[in-house]
C-alpha cells in the first residue's frame, strides 16, 4: 500500500463540507437531510476508502476516468517535476511549452493519420464547447455559415456547460436554465433493450439510424453542421448499439456532407478494448473530443483532435480563431497525461482490457440468471446490468430510477461502487484489475441484487 491514513475528524469534516461545499449533480435538500456527503479519504489500485474506514471496490473508476487505477506515484512525480521546471505558461499567441508539444504529438500518434492537430482544454464539456465553435467557424470559412445545426441523441451526455448540456439529450438537464440552446436537434438513441419492442436488434439499429435521416431532412441537410455521438453512450446507461447502427449513421452523414463527431470522453484511451471507441464500433469520425482517460483523472485535462479536412481550411483561409482557455495545454496536466499514456503503453493496458474482457463478460454476465436482471451487456471494460420487474417482457419497475437507487445503496453496503442510470446499473472499472478482483466484484454485485430483490419481491412478475 502506498497510501497514508491520516488522523482525520470525519464528523467535523462532513459538517464543514455540508456548510460550505456546493456539490455538483446533487439534491441539496436530501444532502442536508441525510447529514452530508460520503467523504472519500484515499485509494489504491481499484479500491477506495471512506472516512468510516469502509473499503469499496470502485467499479466506476471514479467517474469513468481513473483508467490506470489509483496510487500511481509516477504521475504524482511527473506533476511535481513539471511544477518545479515550469508550473504554468500559456499556449496562446504563438507560444508553446514542452509538455504541451509532446502531448499533442503523442495523442496524434495514437490516432489515424488524418488527426494531426490537437487542441487542449480542461474537461470534456470544454472539448465539446470547442467543437461547436470550431465546426461552425469551419463551415463559415467554407462560405456556408448557415450550416450550424448539431444533431445528437436523446440520453447522450456531452457535458454540463450551456452548449454541451444542450448537445446532451438529458431531459432533466434541459429542464433547468433554459436549454437546449438553439440550432441543436435530438434524435432517437439506439437502445434496443428499452425501445426495441418486438424488433430484432439489427432491425432496430437501422430504425434508430432512420430517425437521424428523417431529422436531417426535416432540418434541411444544408443546415446541418455535424452529428455528435458517443460510440457507446455512457451516462445514458451504457447503450451498446446494434451492429447495424453506426455504419448506417455514417452512410447517412456522408450522403449529406455532415461531419461526424465521436465523443470519446468515456470510450477513449482503452475503455472498449481498443484505444478508441470509434475503432471498436467502426466509425470514421472527423473530429474527436476526449478527456477523462487522457490523464486517468489525476489532473483535469481534455483535448479535441481535428482531422486534416477541417484543418486545411483553417490554414488556407487564415484569420484568428478567437477561442481558448487560460489553462489550455497546462504544463503539469500535460506532463501527467504523457506519463499516463507511457504507463498505458509500457504495461500494454489496452491489450489487458481486450484480453480480460471476455472473463469480465462471463463473470458479470452470470448475473443475468437473477430474478430482477433483464440483461447484462459489456464491451471491453464498460457495461450495464438492467433491472426489470418482468424478465420476459423487459418491463421496468414503477417510478423509473427508484429500484436503481435501492440497488446502488445495497452495492455500497456490500463494499461496491456501481452507478445507477435510472434502473440500469453501469460499470467502468479501472484497467489494473485481474480475475480475482472481478470474481470478488461479481460476488458483491449478486449480494446487492439479492438485497434489492428482497425489497421489491412483491412487484416482481
Ligand atoms: N462527454 C462524455 C461522453 C462524458 O461522459 C463529458 C463529455 C463531459 O466531461 P466533463 O469532463 O466536462 O465532465 C462526459 C462526462 C455520470 C457522469 O453521471 C458522467 C460524466 C460526468 C459526470 C457524471 O455518469 N461524463
379-417: pLDDT as tens digits: 999 999 999 999 999 999 999 999 999 999 999 999 999
CATH number of the domain that 159 lies in?
3.40.640.10
Nearest residue CA, atom 7 of ligand 1?
A: 158
Distance 455 CA to ligand 1 centre (A): 31
In this structure, the residues whose C-beta lies within 6 A of any atom of ligand 1 are 63, 123-125, 128, 157-159, 230, 234-235, 263, 265-266, 291, 419
Element (H, E) at 164: helix 162-167
CA distance 456 to 458: 6
Given 316, 346, 376, the domain boundary residue is: 346
What single string gives the DSSP state of each residue in 305-343? EEEHHHHHHHHHH--------TTTT-HHHHHHHHHHHHH
DSSP label of 23: -
Q: Which residue in this structure is represented by grid cell 470550431?
A: 134
Kindly state whether residues 221 and 354 are assigned to the same domain. no
Residue 385 is assigned to a structural domain of this protein:
yes
Q: Which of 274, 227, 272, 273 is nearest to 252 (CA)?
A: 227
Residue 18 is assigned to a structural domain of this protein:
no
342-393: pLDDT as tens digits: 999 999 999 999 999 999 999 999 999 999 999 999 999 999 999 999 999 9
Kindly state whether residues 253 and 279 are assigned to the same domain. yes
Banded pLDDT at 1 (limits 50, 70, 90): very low
Residue 443 is assigned to a structural domain of this protein:
yes
Strands 149-153 and 55-58: what pairing?
unpaired
28-67: pLDDT as tens digits: 999 999 999 999 999 999 999 999 999 999 999 999 999 9
Geometric angle at alpha carbon 130, from 124 and 132, rounded to 5°: 110
Kindly state whether residues 242 and 316 are assigned to the same domain. yes
74-121: pLDDT as tens digits: 999 999 999 999 999 999 999 999 999 999 999 999 999 999 999 999
CA distance 162 to 173: 10
CA distance 78 to 340: 9
Percent share of the chain, pLDDT over 70: 99
Residue range 423-445: mean pLDDT, rounded: 98
Asked if 126 and 326 count as a contact pair (C-beta separation under 8 A), the reply is no
Kindly state whether residues 316 and 366 are assigned to the same domain. no
Domain that holds residue 60: 38-68+348-459
Distance 36 CA to ligand 1 centre (A): 23
Residue range 144-168: mean pLDDT, rounded: 98
- pLDDT averaged over every residue in the chain: 97
**327 contacts: CB under 8 Å, gap ≥ 6:** 122, 333
Asked if 194 and 155 count as a contact pair (C-beta separation under 8 A), the reply is no
Distance 316 CA to ligand 1 centre (A): 34
Q: Which of 252, 303, 261 is nearest to 285 (CA)?
A: 261
Residue 25 is assigned to a structural domain of this protein:
no
- Which residue stretches of 54-119 are H helix? 61-64, 73-85, 98-109
Q: Which of 127, 132, 163, 134 is nearest to 301 (CA)?
A: 127
Residue 23 is assigned to a structural domain of this protein:
no
Q: What is the pLDDT of residue 154?
A: 98
Nearest residue CA, atom 18 of ligand 1?
A: 235
Q: Which of 84, 76, 113, 117 is nearest to 100 (CA)?
A: 117
Kindly state whether residues 298 and 360 are assigned to the same domain. no
224-276: pLDDT as tens digits: 999 999 999 999 999 999 999 999 999 999 999 999 999 999 999 999 999 99
| Atom number, ligand 1, closest to the C-alpha of residue 124 | 9
Given 315, 346, 377, the domain boundary residue is: 346
Task: Please return the burial class of 320, using the count of CB atoms within 10 Å of its CB with bins 0-12, 13-18 and 19+.
Answer: exposed
Q: What is the pLDDT of residue 2?
A: 44
Given 346, 377, 396, the domain boundary residue is: 346
Kindly state whether residues 175 and 234 are assigned to the same domain. yes
Question: In the numeric block, which cell numbers belong to residue 13?
Answer: 469534516
Asked if 228 and 152 count as a contact pair (C-beta separation under 8 A), the reply is yes
- Cα-Cα-Cα-Cα torsion 408, 414, 416, 418, nearest 10 degrees, comes to -20
CA distance 294 to 336: 9
Banded pLDDT at 124 (limits 50, 70, 90): very high
- Number of C-beta neighbours around residue 182 at 10 A: 7
Residue 268 is assigned to a structural domain of this protein:
yes
Nearest residue CA, atom 22 of ligand 1?
A: 63
DSSP label of 397: P
Q: Give me Rg for the CA atoms of the chain.
A: 22
pTM of the model: 0.97
Nearest residue CA, atom 10 of ligand 1?
A: 124
The span from the first CA to the last CA of the chain, in angstroms, equals 47
Q: Which of 314, 349, 318, 343 is nearest to 119 (CA)?
A: 314
Asked if 276 and 288 count as a contact pair (C-beta separation under 8 A), the reply is yes
- The 3-state DSSP class for residue 163 equals helix
Kindly state whether residues 291 and 384 are assigned to the same domain. no
- The 3-state DSSP class for residue 460 equals coil
Q: Which of 26, 152, 173, 265 gets mutated to test ligand 1 (max ligand atoms within 8 A of its CB)?
A: 265
Kindly state whether residues 140 and 289 are assigned to the same domain. yes
Question: In the numeric block, which cell numbers belong to residue 261?
Answer: 463527431
Kindly state whether residues 168 and 269 are assigned to the same domain. yes
Residue 21 is assigned to a structural domain of this protein:
no
337: pLDDT strictly greater than 70: yes
| Atom number, ligand 1, closest to the C-alpha of residue 419 | 24
Banded pLDDT at 7 (limits 50, 70, 90): confident
Number of domains composing the chain? 2
| Atom number, ligand 1, closest to the C-alpha of residue 123 | 11
Q: Which of 126, 131, 157 gets mutated to test ligand 1 (max ligand atoms within 8 A of its CB)?
A: 157
CATH number of the domain that 46 lies in?
3.90.1150.10
Kindly state whether residues 307 and 270 are assigned to the same domain. yes
Q: Which residue in this structure is represented by grid cell 466484484?
A: 441
Kindly state whether residues 308 and 168 are assigned to the same domain. yes
Kindly state whether residues 417 and 313 are assigned to the same domain. no
Residue 13 is assigned to a structural domain of this protein:
no
CA distance 167 to 230: 11
Amino acid at each position: 500500500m502506498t497510501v497514508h491514513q491520516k488522523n482525520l475528524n470525519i464528523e467535523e469534516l462532513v459538517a464543514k463540507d455540508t456548510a460550505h461545499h456546493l456539490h455538483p449533480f446533487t439534491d441539496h435538500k436530501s444532502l442536508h437531510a441525510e447529514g452530508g456527503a460520503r467523504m472519500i479519504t484515499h485509494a489504491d489500485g481499484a479500491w477506495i476508502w471512506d472516512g468510516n474506514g469502509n473499503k469499496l471496490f470502485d467499479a466506476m473508476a471514479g467517474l469513468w476516468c481513473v483508467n490506470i487505477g489509483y496510487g500511481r506515484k509516477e504521475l504524482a512525480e511527473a506533476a511535481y517535476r513539471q511544477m518545479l521546471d515550469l508550473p504554468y505558461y500559456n499556449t496562446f499567441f504563438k507560444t508553446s511549452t514542452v509538455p504541451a508539444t509532446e502531448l499533442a504529438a503523442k495523442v496524434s500518434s495514437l490516432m489515424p493519420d488524418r488527426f494531426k492537430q490537437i487542441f487542449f482544454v480542461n474537461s470534456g464539456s470544454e472539448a465539446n464547447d470547442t467543437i461547436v465553435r470550431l465546426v461552425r467557424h469551419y463551415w463559415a470559412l467554407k462560405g456556408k455559415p448557415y450550416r450550424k445545426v448539431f444533431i445528437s441523441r436523446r440520453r447522450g451526455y456531452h457535458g454540463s456547460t450551456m452548449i454541451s448540456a444542450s448537445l446532451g439529450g438529458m431531459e432533466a438537464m434541459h429542464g433547468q436554465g433554459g436549454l437546449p440552446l438553439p440550432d441543436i436537434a435530438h434524435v432517437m438513441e439506439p437502445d434496443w433493450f428499452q425501445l426495441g419492442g418486438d424488433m430484432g436488434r439489427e432491425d432496430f439499429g437501422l430504425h434508430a439510424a432512420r430517425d437521424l435521416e428523417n431529422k436531417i431532412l426535416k432540418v434541411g441537410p444544408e443546415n446541418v453542421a455535424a452529428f455528435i455521438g458517443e460510440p457507446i453512450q455512457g451516462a445514458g446507461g451504457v447503450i451498446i448499439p446494434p451492429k447495424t447502427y453506426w455504419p448506417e449513421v455514417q452512410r447517412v452523414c456522408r450522403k449529406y456532407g455532415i461531419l461526424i463527431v465521436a465523443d470519446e470522453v468515456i470510450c477513449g484511451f482503452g475503455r472498449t478494448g481498443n484505444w478508441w471507441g470509434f475503432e471498436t464500433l467502426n466509425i470514421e469520425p472527423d473530429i474527436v473530443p476526449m478527456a477523462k482517460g487522457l490523464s486517468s483523472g489525476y489532473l483535469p485535462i481534455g483535448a479535441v483532435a481535428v482531422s486534416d479536412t477541417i484543418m486545411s481550411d483553417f490554414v488556407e483561409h487564415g484569420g484568428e480563431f478567437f477561442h481558448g482557455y487560460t489553462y489550455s495545454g497546462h504544463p503539469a496536466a500535460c506532463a501527467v497525461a504523457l506519463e499516463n499514456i507511457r504507463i498505458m503503453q509500457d504495461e500494454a493496458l489496452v491489450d489487458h482490457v481486450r484480453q480480460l474482457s471476455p472473463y469480465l463478460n462471463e463473470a458479470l454476465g452470470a448475473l443475468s440468471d437473477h430474478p430482477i436482471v433483464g440483461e447484462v451487456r459489456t464491451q471491453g471494460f464498460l457495461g450495464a446490468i438492467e433491472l426489470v420487474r418482468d424478465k420476459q417482457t423487459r418491463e421496468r419497475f414503477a417510478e423509473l430510477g427508484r429500484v436503481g437507487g435501492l440497488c446502488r445503496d445495497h452495492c455500497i453496503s456490500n463494499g461496491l461502487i456501481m452507478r445507477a442510470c435510472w434502473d440500469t446499473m453501469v460499470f467502468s472499472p479501472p484497467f489494473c484489475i485481474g480475475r480475482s478482483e472481478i470474481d470478488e466484484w461479481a460476488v458483491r454485485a449478486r449480494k446487492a441484487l439479492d438485497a434489492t430483490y428482497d425489497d421489491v419481491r412483491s412487484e416482481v412478475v
